[in-house]
């Protein structure tokens, strides 16, 4: 090849390469929109569109949790120019040292990505800030919503929101620093349903930090998807009434609809105003609530574990009848040398034993359950009897965590042979070691929710549906079938009529221990209890259901350090039942006494 030919080949090669580069640039800048979007990320502003979090309703459609608009101040470090930090800090109300640290943290996170500089500024306050933001390039407002509580009730049930931590950001790519997440109650259990899905909006901004409009008419924007609403079985009015009755008292009230397991109310006292854990003041208030010696953050309805006291005797009766160790007509003398008891008429049969709550009767009953003479060795015989008794207890939903749609529930404790072997040594214990269990004391522990569920078992004559707060998600007519498991207890349904009649006598007949729970024209079935408290005055306990003929409410009331169950727990339960069934109160004097009582002050 001569020199001229080589020159033309070289020129052709250069022209070909130039043509390829020109064609590639044309493709990137004109044809391929993907590169345009990349350029927009650098030159335009990308805003996160936060979805409205799902609302929470009570059984009548009342709003328990709603949303209110707030604003976060965002910063993009690479866009920030020198500014008057003193004036800025005065504008938004933070210390200069705090601003410096937050700007440094934002730079460490990313120079190009936005970070939260100040969060959850109320709309009215942000309006006064927004008119000055043109002075501060790289800092802008971003709208989102904050929780508000129209009824200001059911704090422990509803829960609260908290900022995500670094671990959660690493575990779940949905979350970013500065995001909030359900941290307790329904907000936590139904986080994925409530949170929705965020969107993105690209906007053009001028040199004064003002938004001039959407980029490319919004063709790169993605819509936010609102969170789903929750429709609960809670009765806001009943919940509020229960909190009023329990004011200045320590304890809880749990009410269920025995027909379907829906939670009507979950009262914990002392409680707190849910608005305290919202917005910029949340952290400060949370610390103060933690320091409160009355422990208002502690959910007594789901987490407090108490001896059940005499309400346990009903379960012991059913197990003994099912095992055939007693009959409905079995009577025992009230022998106080076995275990202490109050004065009452003779417990000549099971119904009268329940009606009068005779301790020696159930001492003897439990003894027959444990010592059935299956083997000659009394220690091994007691272990066999306790194993069978433990199986029954688990069948009643005791000794395990309730399957409720709330994250904090505990399961109490039902002692087993392994438990006693660990304490006393293998086969070195017998009935005489554990007899206090017979009357609901000793090593037995329950949570109030389990006691309300027991009341449902007695109301339904042998079955219950796992308690649940939420009845539907997204639409009031949808269903949550996985929350509606029906559980049949391992006792013949034929025994429950006898127990129901005994519980009716506790309330309705002379000598019953819960006469203060009577309601005119409503047949209430109940059982009192006194749970021993080694640290002070005993706890008052009462469970009930009503009406006897067609039960629509099952309830458990615990009042700590208040003594006998019939004095405080039974009247409170009775007022709650009447309020729910009639929407009015016919005994104003009893109501006033319960509302005005300050049992916490009496402890001091």
Clarify whether residues 439 and 374 are in a common domain.
Answer: yes
Clarify whether residues 566 and 434 are in a common domain.
Answer: yes
Clarify whether residues 370 and 259 are in a common domain.
Answer: yes
Q: Supply the range of the domain harboring residue 162.
A: 47-66+145-207+225-230
Within a domain: residue 37? no
What per-residue confidence (pLDDT) applies to 447?
96
Clarify whether residues 469 and 328 are in a common domain.
Answer: yes
Q: Over 50: is that where the pLDDT of 40 sits?
A: no
Between the CA of residue 165 and those of 47, 116, 133, 162, 416, what are the distances in Å? 22, 14, 29, 9, 40
Final residue in a domain of this structure, among 198, 230, 262 = 230
Q: Which residues pair with 554 in a beta bridge?
A: 256, 545
What per-residue confidence (pLDDT) applies to 280?
77
- Dump pLDDT digits (tens) for 278-336: 887 888 999 999 999 999 999 999 999 999 989 999 999 999 999 999 999 999 999 99
Clarify whether residues 199 and 270 are in a common domain.
Answer: no
Residue 539 CA to residue 436 CA, distance in Å, equals: 17
- Dump pLDDT digits (tens) for 104-146: 999 998 888 888 898 888 888 899 999 999 889 889 888 888 8
Q: Over 70: is that where the pLDDT of 396 sits?
A: yes
Clarify whether residues 169 and 282 are in a common domain.
Answer: no
Q: Over 50: is that where the pLDDT of 10 sits?
A: yes
Within a domain: residue 180? yes
Within a domain: residue 401? yes
411-431: average pLDDT: 93
CB 127 within 8 A of CB 253: no
Within a domain: residue 111? no
Q: Over 60: is that where the pLDDT of 420 sits?
A: yes
Q: 3-state class of 478 per DSSP?
A: coil
pLDDT, mean over the chain: 88
Residue 46 CA to residue 458 CA, distance in Å, equals: 60
Structurally, the chain folds into a number of domains equal to: 2
CATH number of the structural domain spanning residue 53? 3.90.1310.10
CATH number of the structural domain spanning residue 414? 3.40.710.10
Clarify whether residues 178 and 250 are in a common domain.
Answer: no
Clarify whether residues 199 and 51 are in a common domain.
Answer: yes
Clarify whether residues 163 and 299 are in a common domain.
Answer: no
CB 184 within 8 A of CB 408: yes
Most confident of 68-82, 228-242, 400-414: 228-242
Clarify whether residues 351 and 469 are in a common domain.
Answer: yes
- Dump pLDDT digits (tens) for 227-241: 999 999 999 999 999
Final residue in a domain of this structure, among 184, 199, 230 = 230
| Contacts for 14 with CB less than 8 Å, ≥ 6 apart | none
What per-residue confidence (pLDDT) applies to 431?
93
- Dump pLDDT digits (tens) for 541-558: 999 999 999 999 999 999
Could you tell me the two tokens for 480? 């949550």
What per-residue confidence (pLDDT) applies to 38?
45
Clarify whether residues 426 and 297 are in a common domain.
Answer: yes
Does the global pTM surpass 0.95?
no
- Dump pLDDT digits (tens) for 438-491: 998 889 999 999 999 999 999 999 999 999 999 999 988 876 655 578 999 999
Q: Kindly report the backbone phi and psi dihedral angles of residue 84, in degrees, each rounded to the nearest multiple of 5, phi listed first.
A: -75, 100
Clarify whether residues 457 and 360 are in a common domain.
Answer: yes
């Amino acid at each position: 090849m001569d020199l001229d030919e080589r020159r033309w080949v070289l020129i052709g090669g250069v022209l070909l390469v130039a043509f390829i580069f020109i064609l590639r640039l044309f493709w990137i800048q004109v044809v391929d929109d993907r590169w345009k979007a990349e350029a927009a990320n650098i030159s335009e502003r990308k805003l996160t569109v936060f979805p409205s979090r799902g609302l929470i309703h009570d059984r009548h459609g009342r709003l328990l949790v709603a949303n209110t608009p707030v604003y976060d101040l965002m910063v993009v470090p690479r866009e920030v120019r020198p500014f008057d930090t003193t004036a800025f800090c005065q504008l938004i109300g933070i210390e200069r040292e705090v601003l410096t640290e937050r700007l440094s943290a934002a730079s460490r996170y990313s120079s190009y990505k936005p970070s939260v500089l100040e969060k959850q500024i109320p709309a009215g306050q942000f309006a006064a800030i927004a008119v000055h933001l043109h002075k501060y390039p790289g800092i802008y407002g971003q709208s989102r919503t904050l929780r508000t509580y129209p009824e200001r009730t059911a704090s422990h049930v509803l829960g609260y929101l908290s900022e995500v931590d670094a671990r959660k950001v690493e575990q779940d790519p949905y979350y970013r620093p500065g995001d909030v997440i359900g941290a307790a109650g329904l907000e936590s259990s139904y986080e994925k349903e409530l949170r929705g899905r965020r969107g993105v909006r690209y906007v053009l901004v001028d040199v004064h930090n003002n938004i001039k409009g959407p980029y490319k008419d919004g063709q790169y924007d993605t819509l936010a998807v609102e969170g789903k609403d929750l429709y609960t079985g809670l009765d806001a009015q009943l919940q509020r009434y229960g909190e009023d009755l329990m004011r200045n008292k320590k304890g809880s009230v749990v009410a269920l609809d025995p027909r379907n397991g829906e939670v009507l109310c979950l009262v914990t006292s002392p409680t707190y105003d849910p608005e305290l854990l919202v917005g910029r003041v949340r952290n400060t208030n949370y610390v103060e609530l933690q320091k409160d010696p009355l422990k208002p953050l502690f959910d007594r309805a789901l987490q407090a574990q108490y001896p059940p006291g005499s309400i346990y005797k009903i379960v012991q009766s059913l197990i003994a009848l099912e095992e055939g160790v007693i009959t409905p007509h079995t009577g025992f003398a009230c022998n106080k040398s076995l275990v202490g008891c109050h004065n009452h008429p003779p417990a000549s049969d099971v119904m009268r034993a329940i009606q009068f709550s005779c301790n020696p009767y159930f001492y003897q009953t439990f003894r027959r359950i444990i010592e059935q003479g299956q083997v000659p060795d009394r220690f091994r015989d007691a272990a066999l009897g306790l194993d069978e008794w433990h199986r029954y207890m688990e069948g009643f939903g005791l000794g395990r965590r309730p399957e409720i749609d709330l994250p904090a529930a505990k399961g109490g404790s039902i002692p087993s042979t392994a438990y006693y072997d660990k304490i006393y040594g293998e086969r070195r214990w017998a009935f005489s070691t554990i007899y206090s269990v017979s009357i609901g004391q000793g090593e037995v522990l329950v949570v109030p929710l389990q006691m309300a569920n027991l009341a449902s078992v007695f109301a339904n004559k042998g079955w219950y549906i796992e308690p649940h707060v939420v009845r539907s998600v997204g639409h009031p007519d949808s269903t949550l079938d996985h929350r509606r498991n029906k559980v049949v207890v391992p006792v013949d349904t034929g025994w429950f009529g006898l127990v129901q009649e005994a519980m009716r006598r506790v309330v309705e007949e002379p000598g019953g221990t819960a006469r203060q729970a009577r309601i005119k024209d409503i047949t209430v079935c109940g059982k009192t209890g006194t749970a021993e408290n080694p640290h002070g005055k005993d706890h008052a306990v009462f469970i009930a259901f009503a009406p006897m003929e067609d039960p629509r409410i099952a309830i458990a009331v615990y009042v700590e350090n208040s003594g006998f169950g019939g004095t405080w727990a039974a009247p409170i339960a009775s007022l709650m039942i009447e309020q729910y069934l009639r929407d009015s109160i016919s005994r104003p004097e009893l109501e006033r006494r319960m509302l005005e009582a300050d049992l916490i002050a009496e402890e001091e």
